[in-house]
Each structure stands twice: as structure tokens, then as C-alpha cells.
Amino acid sequence: MTEVLSNRLAALQAHLTLLARTRRGIEKEGLRVDPQGGLALTPHPQALGAALTHARITTDYSESLLELITGTHTDVDALLEELTEIHRYVAQTLQDELVWNHSMPARLPPEPDIPIGWYGTSNTGMLKHVYRRGLAERYGKTMQCIAGLHYNFSLDDALWEQLELPGATAQERRSAGYIALIRNFTRYSWLLMYLFGASPAISRGLLAQADAQLQPLDAHTLYLPYATSLRMSDLGYQNKAQSKLKLGYNDLRSFLSRLYEAVTQPWPAYERIGTHRDGQWIQLNANLLQIENEYYSSIRPKRSTGRCERPITALAARGVQYVEVRCLDIDPYSPIGISAQTARFMDAFLLHCALEDSPLFPEDGHCNESPQNFARVVREGRRPGLTLSRGGAQVPLADWGRELLAGIGASAALLDRAYGTQAYGQAVAAQAGKLDDPQATPSARILAQLREQGQSFHAVTLAASQAHAQALRAEPLPAARLAAYREMAEQSLREQAALEAGDTIGFDEYVARYHAALENPSKGPCTASG
């Protein structure tokens, strides 16, 4: 244990009430599919409300890709209770459709037939829709149908004040703390892929480039024998333009400045596409990124924004509010895509990243070693004897993993004391077995199941999704909660209608104003180095 970590753990012993105010939330994606597991081509069900304005039930890229969003909670049990309740409402509402409970898609139709998310005719809704048109032009629709689970995490603002962080103000110190957390997350997130990666196989023909890179498991399934998460590999969200984008994490200002350049700098390939075709908008601009959210990363610094406020502007003005972890696969063994054990491990892991010493990266703010380790683990994390690079030396994955679990365990013990439980320590201890026996990992279990059952990835996942739907439907929501969800849906439809009726300018002008609202972060308040 480093001196920094030891000192910070000791300092927080006197502030357990602040630690118990830790907040977490979940955004869980899942494709709507028909009873045969084919992509549902129906519109977003009206009974689920308006995807534009519903706080809990929306869509991500596709009209068929649900995104279920919890509020923020100071307790894991309450968090998962709400996520379960949302799943139950959705399962009972869909009737003839299912939520595909896996990160890799169901059988998809030809790309032209994959429906892009529709959010109504308001300027706000059309901005979201046109952005998605741009994603289709840049990356293809199939890639946008890959699903994941985002874990949002924040420490109480007052807790950051106990960690002796750089900065002249509490806002600067808080942002420096979150940026330091992100640096350590970048160093250690390969461990999450090993422990929780759950996408070692895909359906044949899903991705054109995959056939040459993967091996056949059966006539309908492709895989890599030691892969943990093909979703997070170079088969997933990757892009030649974005591969050149290196956003440093040494301080918030430099991160935002580079992101600002990406959303304002034209990219030749996208200029050739243009912003219009046949008189219709097909992308918001021809820049490297249309908007900030197009930057694909395993973790993001976040700040709640007002209507039409740009994330860069909000972060520069008010600092980091929380982090969004984006690399978790859907847990196919859980009806809600994540277990309580995993959620508690995430809390302990992220707390460890916040408390551990976090040296700055090289001058460009980017560490090449960490993405290489991450890429290696997602493709061959269970390979016997696999080593990773740490400070230029090769270290066995299992040895480094055990060292990390010891540090994470210390943070788990602190959380146990703060919450009056033993569940955090148990959640961390449960992961040690996966380092001792790679066959205990979710990715290995999935491959073993496919082989034992002699069925394709599609057939096994469809059966599991059907079983999860039946389990969720078997516990109807209490009448009061059902009525509350129905009212939320009706209210969201009213709010969307009000937005559509309230527009006073045309869409072209709205887009121009949206882009003009972006402020250069180098000219405003930001944060000290991490």
C-alpha cells in the first residue's frame, strides 16, 4: 500500500458519514427484439412515454435500443431496487417483445432497415435525431446497436476536501480529484474487463470485419478463445478519426481544450460527406466530433447541463460533478444487467482510484501503456501466463490483479464501516477466485455454456432473455407504482408536445445557435492540475 493511499484511508476514518453520502446511478441499454430474437422494428412504445423527455426510459442510438436510467442513490440496494422496478415496468409493457439481455446485438436487419432514434419534430428532438444520422454515416448503424451499462459515481463534495488536493477553490480541488481518479481508472480498468467482461462471442455475420479476425465456435457463432469483452475490442466502438484523438487527463483544462478542438476542427472524410443530402440534414457538422458525446471512452468526467448547454461549457464553468464508467458489459446472468456484488465492487474500485496516488501522465497527458493493456485483456485476458506492461516491465496479470484487489479491499473495508455492512468486503473477496481460476470469469462461463448446450450464441441469449422477461413479469408492480410509471409516461408525452408547440425558430437557426453556444474552455475558469 502506498503512503498516499494509507494516509488518505486513515484520514477518511473520521469522515464515514461523508463517505456514506457517495452517490451512484446506472444507465442500462438493451435492444427490443421480437419473440424470435430479431430486432424489433416497431416505434418506441407510446406506453413507455416520450424518449425525448422521460427521465427514466429513453432510447440510445436506435429506436429499438432502450436506455433505462435510474436516479442517483446513496445506497446500492436502493439503486438496484429502482433499476429492477423500471425493468419490471418495461417487461410488463412490451408484451410481445423482449429486452435482449446481452451487449452484443441480436440478429440485425440490413443497415438501411435499422431504425434511428426518433424524438419528435421539436428542434431539441431533431438535434438528437440528426446527431444519430451522423453516427450512421460515420460508423455504420450496426456498431451503434452494441449495448452496455454505464455506472455513474460521485463522492460527496466535502469528502474531496479531506484529500489534500491541488487547487485554490473547492471546485478546483474537486475537479482535480476526479481527474486523478480517471488517470488511475485508465491504469487499472483492464481489471474490470477481466473480472466482468461478458462478450467473448458474437453471431456470425454481425460485423463484416469480424469474420477474418475471429474463430468459429459453431456454424453460427464466432469467438476468441481467451477474449473477455469483444464489445470493448477493436471490433466495437472504434474509428480511424477518433483513434488519432488523444485526450489527456493531467488536468481538466487541457482535457477540455483538446475536446473543444475535436468538436470544432473539420475532418476531411466528414467534409466529403457534407451536412445535407437531398435537402435533409445528415450530420450536425463535418468536425472530428459532431458533439462532445461522440467521444467514445471507457470513462468520462461529467457535469449536469441545462437545456442547450454544452458539456464543455458546463464543465469549464462549474467543474466535474461525477464520473461515468462506460466499459461494463451487460451481465447476461442478471435480469437487470448487473448484480449487487458487481455494483459494490465498482464503488470500492472507484474509491480506490480516487484515494490511490495518481502520478501525472507524460507531457501529452496520455499514457500509451494503459490502452495497450486494456486492448490485450479484452482480446486475450484469460490466456495462460498473460503479462501486462507496468512501468515498462512485464507483470503477470494475475499477480498485478491480486495487488490491486488488496488495495481495493482496503477501500471496501472503509465502505463497510461507513454503511454498517460486510457486503463490500465480500464483493471484493469474491473476485479473487477469478484470478486464481480464469474459468470462473463470466466470459469463460459463457463459452462453456455455449459448448455444453451445443447451441448458438443467438439461441442461448434468446432463451436467457425470455427467462429474464418471464421472471420480471411474474412480479407485477404494486398498483400505486404502476400508476406512477403510467403518469410519468403521460407527462413525458405532454412535455414533448409542449416543446414542439413552443419552437419559435427554424431548425437551421437552432443548430447554428447550438454550435455558437460552445465556449472555448481556455478562456474561462477551469481547474488546477490533478
439 in any annotated domain = yes
Predicted structure pTM score: 0.96
Q: Could you tell me if residue 138 is inside a domain?
A: yes
Query: Side-chain half-sphere of 202: how many Cα atoms within 13 Å?
Result: 31
Residue 321: give its domain's CATH number: 3.30.590.20
Q: How far apart are CA 127 and CA 92, in angstroms?
A: 31
The whole-number pLDDT of residue 243 equals: 72
Res 212: pLDDT: 77
Q: How many domains does the chain have?
A: 1
Q: Provide the terminal-to-terminal Cα distance of the chain, rounded to the nearest Å.
A: 20
Within 13 Å and on the Cβ side, how many CA atoms surround 67? 25
Q: Is residue 362 part of a domain?
A: yes
Q: Is residue 529 part of a domain?
A: no
Maximum Cα interatomic distance, the chain, rounded to a whole number of Å = 65
Q: What does the pLDDT read at residue 527?
A: 46
Amino acid at 409: G
pLDDT tens readout for residues 237-263: 445 677 778 788 999 999 999 999 999
pLDDT digits (tens, 9 = 90+) for 64-83: 999 999 999 999 999 999 99
Quote the domain boundaries for residue 271.
Answer: 3-523
Nearest Cα neighbor of 470 from 30, 78, 118, 101 is 101
Q: Which residues in the chain land under pLDDT 70?
A: 236-240, 364-366, 524-530
d(CA 350, CA 149): 16
The Cα 316–Cα 101 span in angstroms is 37
Q: Give domain status of residue 105, yes or no.
A: yes
530: in domain: no
Q: How far apart are CA 165 and CA 162, in angstroms?
A: 8
C-alpha cell at 60: 440510445
Q: How wide is the angle at C-alpha 363 spanned by C-alphas 357 and 365, nearest 5°?
A: 60
Alpha-carbon distance of 33 to 305, in angstroms, equals 32
